[in-house]
A and B are shown apart, each in its own frame.
Chain A
């Protein structure tokens, strides 16, 4: 049997960092312009797929880039920066390709239905919203918001992965990398579904009124991630 109290006290900082990473992922999802099934038919602003798919796609890319950086350095800041950049590139590519489909394929202008003027470009929005839709495409403010979301998600995912990887144990590195990655993926999925329930499946970005619900999702994520962090630290620390 493993020494539960000993491992927990020795790794209290890791538990805090993992919990923080989970909350960051939860916050990140609120920034990503996700339109769900309506957006897939160009009837709502955002990328036409679910929150989980978008957040996981970007976040897992962030994990890969963070992991690649961990091969060459132990510096936490570099690992997190690498994770953030990877996730930002992934979400940007997803949004720009979606945008091409909306603009050149469907033939609708990118427009937000939640605000009258784009907060960044100050362009008029409401005139271009097709009747019976909730906006379409990815307007500038949503794109910028999505990139911020990618950065936060990448940092959060990288933080979880990094904190799991530096837990002291006696197992070989390849095994630890595997377990830490799988744990990080599990925590990532849980923390991308919780905010998804919070926003009811669709959000345009930080200018959307639903964004004000953020504290609730972060609170929920803190509770759940704290619990999973304890389990992760015990599982890896006991090896």
Chain B
């Protein structure tokens, strides 16, 4: 599982930039969608989807850093943990926070994540030096992803409406698994001795775009949000990210060779 021999993952973009991008981009996207949906119209809800993609990139980056030490449990578990903490913190933050809901959710997620990090290192003795910081980041990004995708679906993060239109309808399960996969899959798919930060990030953005498209599909049946723009922008981002990923795969491959088609029956005889 370990890729860097316990030294941590090599990075081209510094982690501080990604943390800032994740928090600021995520919250700006969510709040912009919240206010602009009221001011301009339901189709502005796509901004929250972009915020969720910022959170996904950040979460995938944190998973990449912590998993490069080798957790012994597989990468998926940490993605599920992120969304599990994010879910609890989001519901709490939105319930008590009102307009400050997303910020309170992010802070509560950071607190639980930090405590889980401390427990994992001190009590369980997992021995990953960056565990506390990474768990805080991963849990916080989980909260941003959940709020971002919910807001993209219904155009608001008002708790009463989230409960009625996202949770009681069961779309929260879609958010949970689409967001969780977007965080855990990029590193899980690219891991190995030749893992590169830009290729992992291209996968993360591509997975984020799929989550955004899903949110758009749900938004298209909601009156308070419009799905068309979310789906179109999601498809565009997906196309760009997937082309980039394919390009990077070809760059990092030792050799690409065509195997041709399977031989026909006559050729085999």
Chain B contact surface mostly: helix
> Whole-angstrom distance between the alpha carbons of A171 and B77 in the complex?
34
Category for how many chain A residues contact B:
35 or more
Is A62 an interface residue when CB atoms closer than 8 A count as contact? no
How would residues 219 to 249 of chain B score, 1 for a CB under 8 Å from any chain A CB and 0 otherwise? 0000000000000000000000000000000
* Most chain B CB inside 10 Å of its own CB: which residue of A177, A201, A227: A227
B115 contacts chain A at the CB level, 8 A cutoff: yes
Are A182 and B172 CB-contacts (below 8 A) given A187-B84, A189-B80?
yes
Which A residue's beta carbon lies closest to that of B83? A189
Q: Is A116 an interface residue (CB 8 A)?
A: no
What CA separation (Å) do A196 and B89 show in the bound complex? 22
Nearest chain A CB to B47 CB, angstrom units: 25
Which chain B positions have C-beta within 8 A of A236? 95
Given known A-B contacts A185-B87, A185-B176, A186-B88, A201 and B72 have beta carbons under 8 A apart: yes
Ordered by A's residue number, 7 sampled pairs between the chains whose C-beta atoms are within 8 Å are A36-B73, A50-B74, A185-B87, A223-B115, A235-B91, A235-B95, A235-B96
**Chain B contact residues (Cβ within 8 angstroms of A): what range?**
35 or more
Is there contact, CB below 8 Å, between B92 and A231?
Answer: yes
| Inter-chain contacts of A238 with B (CB < 8 A) | 95-96
Q: From A51-59, A76-84, A124-132, give the one contacting chain B.
A: A51-59
Q: A223-B115, A224-B115 are in contact. List 17 more A-B contacts (CB 8 A).
A: A37-B74, A52-B77, A174-B168, A175-B163, A178-B167, A178-B172, A179-B167, A182-B167, A190-B84, A190-B116, A193-B78, A193-B84, A194-B119, A197-B71, A197-B126, A231-B108, A235-B92
Assess whether A224 is in contact with B116, with CB atoms less than 8 Å apart.
Answer: yes
Q: Are B115 and A227 closer than 8 Å at their CB atoms?
A: yes
Chain B residues near A179 (CB-CB < 8 A): 91, 163, 167-168
CA distance A236 to B73 in the complex (A): 33
Distance in Å: Cβ of B132 to nearest Cβ of chain A: 13
Bound: A36/B77 CA distance, A:
11
Q: How far is the CB of B172 from chain A (nearest CB, A)?
A: 5
A99 on the interface (CB 8 Å rule)?
A: no
Top 8 closest pairs, chain A to chain B, by CB: A189-B84, A231-B92, A186-B87, A235-B95, A201-B73, A178-B168, A220-B119, A193-B81
Contacts of B111 in A (CB 8 A): 227
Q: Secondary structure of the A side of the interface?
A: helix
Contact (Cβ within 8 A) A196 B95: no
Neighbouring A residues of B36 by C-beta, 8 Å: none
Interface string of B75-116 (1 = CB under 8 A from A): 011101101111111011011100000000000100110011
- Residue numbers in B under 8 Å from A187 (CB-CB): 84, 88
How far apart are the CA atoms of A223 and B123 in the complex, in Å? 11
- Interface set of A (CB-CB < 8 Å, partner B): 1-2, 4, 36-37, 50-53, 56, 171, 174-175, 177-179, 182-183, 185-190, 192-194, 196-198, 200-201, 216-217, 219-220, 223-224, 227-228, 231-232, 234-236, 238-239
**B120 at interface by CB-CB < 8 Å:** yes
The answer to whether B253 has its CB under 8 Å from any CB of chain A is no
Write the nearest CB–CB distance from A222 to chain B, whole angstroms.
Answer: 10
Residues of B within 8 Å of A52, CB to CB, are: 73, 76-77, 80
For the complex formed, measure the closest distance between the CB of B179 and the CB atoms of chain A, giving whole angstroms.
Answer: 12
Cβ contact within 8 Å between B91 and A231: yes
Contacts of B126 in A (CB 8 A): 197
Q: Do A186 and B84 touch across chains, with their CB atoms under 8 A apart?
A: yes
Once A220-B123, A227-B115 are accepted as A-B contacts, the answer to whether A197 and B73 lie under 8 Å apart by CB is yes
**Please, how many angstroms separate the alpha-carbon atoms of A177 and B172 in the complex?**
13
**In the complex the two chains form, what is the Cα distance from A197 to B111 in whole Å?**
19
Which residues of chain A are near B76, meaning CB under 8 Å? 50, 52-53
CB of B39 within 8 A of chain A? no
